C-alpha cells in the first residue's frame, strides 16, 4: 500500500500535520504502508491535477479541498478551504468519514490529533510538543513579537528552516518528526547546519524591512520585490512597528508574486477586519487574522495595485 500525502509546503503547521497524520496512519490504518510526500503551494491558477493523486490512498493536510475521486483523506482548518461552492457541496456530501474541516481550529496539527483520538482512538503523548508548537506558531500565540523574530527556541529555528529550504529536506524533516521527538529533530546537526546561514539572512531581512516599512493610520506596508526577497518572517513588521494593527507586503519569487496581509496580535488596537474575507475577493484566502493573495510572477504591478486597495480598506476610518 502506498500513501501519497500532500501537505502545505514551507509551513510549520503543514509539516507538523504531515508528521502527525503519518504516525496516525501507520498506527491505525496500515502499518506496512509506504508514504510519499509532496508539497502544495498557493499559486495563481489551478492548484491540483489528477496526477498528484498517484497513491493507493491519497491525503491532503492543511490545504484546500479537492473534489477528486482519488482523494481519500482530507484535513483543513482554513476559512478559505474551498475553491468554489461546488467543492464545498462535494465535501458536505462525502460519506467516507475521512474528510474533516474545522475553521475554528487554530492549527491543522491540533485538529488532526483531536480527530485521530476522538474518532479513531489514536493518541501518542510524545507528539504533544509538536502539536503544542504548531498551535503556537499557526495561531500566533507568542509571548511577544520578539519571540518569533529572535528565534531562540529550537522549534522556532526549525520553523525558519522549513520556510526556507528545499522540498527534499523538508520531506526528510517530516519523516524524522514522524519517528522522533520535536526537540531531537530541531536541535540535530542536519537542521542546525541549515539554520545558521538562514539566521544571518533573516537578520539582514529584518534590517531591510526596518528600512523600507512605512507606518500610517494603523497599517504598515513594504515592498520587497526590488530586493529580490521571496519571503520574510511575518512578525518582523510588528517587531519594528509595534504600534501597527495591520501589515501589507508585496514579494516575488520564482512561482508567484504574493501579497501578504496580517494583523498584529500584540496591537494596542483591536483588529476590525476579517483578512481572509478581504483576500478572498482577490482570489486569495487564509484566516481572519492572516491571509495572502497570489499572482503570476510577472504580475507585480497588478499585485501592487491590489495591495494598495487592501491597504486603503484597512486604513479607512482609522483614528489615532
In the predicted structure, residue 49 carries a pLDDT above the cut 90: no
**Total count of domains within the chain:** 2
pTM reported for the whole predicted model: 0.85
Q: With b meaning 16 or more CB within 10 Å and e meaning fewer, what string describes 56-91?
A: ebbbbbbbbbbbbeebbbbbbbbbbbbbeeeeeebb
Q: Is residue 77 part of a domain?
A: yes
235 and 124, same structural domain?
no
Q: Is residue 153 part of a domain?
A: no
Confidence of residue 45 (pLDDT cuts 50, 70, 90): low
Q: Is residue 156 part of a domain?
A: no
Determine what percent of the chain is predicted with pLDDT higher than 70.
98
Of 82, 106, 138, the position where a domain reaches its end is 138
User: Residue 29's pLDDT is what?
Assistant: 97
- Give residue-wise pLDDT tens across range 9-33: 999 999 999 999 999 999 999 999 9
CATH code of the domain covering residue 277: 3.10.310.30
Q: To the nearest whole number, what is the mean pLDDT of the chain?
A: 95
Domain coverage including residue 231: 213-315
Q: What is the mean pLDDT of residues 160-176?
A: 95
133 and 15, same structural domain?
yes
In the predicted structure, residue 103 carries a pLDDT above the cut 80: yes
In the predicted structure, residue 46 carries a pLDDT above the cut 70: no
131 and 6, same structural domain?
yes
User: Residue 319's pLDDT is what?
Assistant: 72
- Give residue-wise pLDDT tens across range 133-158: 999 999 989 999 999 999 999 999 99
DSSP 151-205: T-SHHHHHHHHHTTS-HHHHHHHHHHHTTS-HHHHHTSHHHHHHHHHHHHHHHHH
In the predicted structure, residue 112 carries a pLDDT above the cut 90: yes
Q: Is residue 199 part of a domain?
A: no
CATH code of the domain covering residue 46: 3.90.1640.10
Q: Is residue 150 part of a domain?
A: no
Largest separation between any pair of C-alpha atoms in the chain: 60
Which comes out higher in pLDDT, residue 49 or 210? 210
User: Residue 311's pLDDT is what?
Assistant: 97
- Give residue-wise pLDDT tens across range 203-258: 999 999 999 999 999 999 999 999 998 889 999 999 999 999 999 999 999 889 99
Q: Is residue 166 part of a domain?
A: no
Please tell me whether residue 37 adopts helix, strand or coil conformation: strand
How far apart are alpha carbons 284 and 46 in whole angstroms? 13
Looking up cell 523574530 gives 149
Which comes out higher in pLDDT, residue 43 or 123? 123
Of 118, 138, 158, the position where a domain reaches its end is 138
Flag the least confident range among 36-45, 55-64, 170-179: 36-45
- Of 281, 22, 17, which Cα lies nearest the Cα of 162? 17
Amino acid at each position: 500500500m502506498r500513501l501519497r500525502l500532500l501537505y502545505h509546503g514551507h509551513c510549520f503547521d503543514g509539516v507538523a500535520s504531515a508528521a502527525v497524520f503519518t504516525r496516525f496512519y501507520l498506527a491505525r490504518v496500515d502499518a506496512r504502508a509506504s508514504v510519499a510526500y509532496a508539497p502544495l503551494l498557493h499559486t495563481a491558477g489551478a492548484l491540483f491535477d489528477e496526477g498528484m493523486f498517484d497513491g493507493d490512498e491519497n491525503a491532503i493536510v492543511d490545504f484546500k479541498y479537492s473534489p477528486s475521486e482519488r482523494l481519500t483523506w482530507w484535513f483543513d482548518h482554513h476559512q478559505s478551504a474551498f475553491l468554489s461552492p461546488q467543492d464545498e457541496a462535494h465535501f458536505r456530501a462525502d460519506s467516507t468519514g475521512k474528510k474533516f474541516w474545522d475553521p475554528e481550529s487554530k492549527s491543522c496539527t491540533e485538529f488532526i490529533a483531536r480527530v485521530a483520538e476522538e474518532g479513531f482512538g489514536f493518541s501518542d503523548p510524545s507528539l504533544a510538543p509538536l502539536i503544542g508548537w504548531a498551535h503556537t506558531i499557526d495561531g500566533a500565540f507568542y509571548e511577544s513579537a520578539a519571540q518569533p523574530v529572535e528565534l531562540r527556541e529550537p522549534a522556532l529555528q526549525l520553523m525558519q528552516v522549513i520556510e526556507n529550504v528545499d522540498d527534499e529536506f523538508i520531506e526528510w524533516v517530516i519523516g524524522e518528526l514522524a519517528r522522533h521527538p520535536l526537540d531531537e529533530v530541531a536541535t540535530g546537526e542536519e537542521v542546525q547546519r541549515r539554520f545558521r546561514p538562514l539566521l544571518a539572512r533573516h537578520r539582514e531581512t529584518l534590517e531591510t524591512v526596518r528600512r523600507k516599512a512605512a507606518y500610517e493610520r494603523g497599517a504598515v506596508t513594504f515592498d520587497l520585490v526590488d530586493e529580490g526577497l521571496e519571503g520574510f518572517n511575518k512578525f518582523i513588521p510588528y517587531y519594528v512597528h509595534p504600534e501597527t494593527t495591520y501589515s501589507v507586503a508585496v514579494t516575488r519569487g520564482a512561482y508567484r508574486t504574493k501579497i501578504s496581509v496580517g494583523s498584529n496580535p500584540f496591537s494596542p488596537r483591536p483588529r476590525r477586519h476579517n483578512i481572509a474575507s478581504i483576500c478572498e475577493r482577490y482570489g486569495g484566502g487564509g484566516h481572519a487574522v492572516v491571509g495572502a493573495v497570489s499572482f503570476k510572477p510577472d504580475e507585480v504591478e497588478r499585485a501592487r495595485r491590489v495591495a494598495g486597495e487592501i491597504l486603503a480598506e484597512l486604513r479607512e476610518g482609522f483614528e489615532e
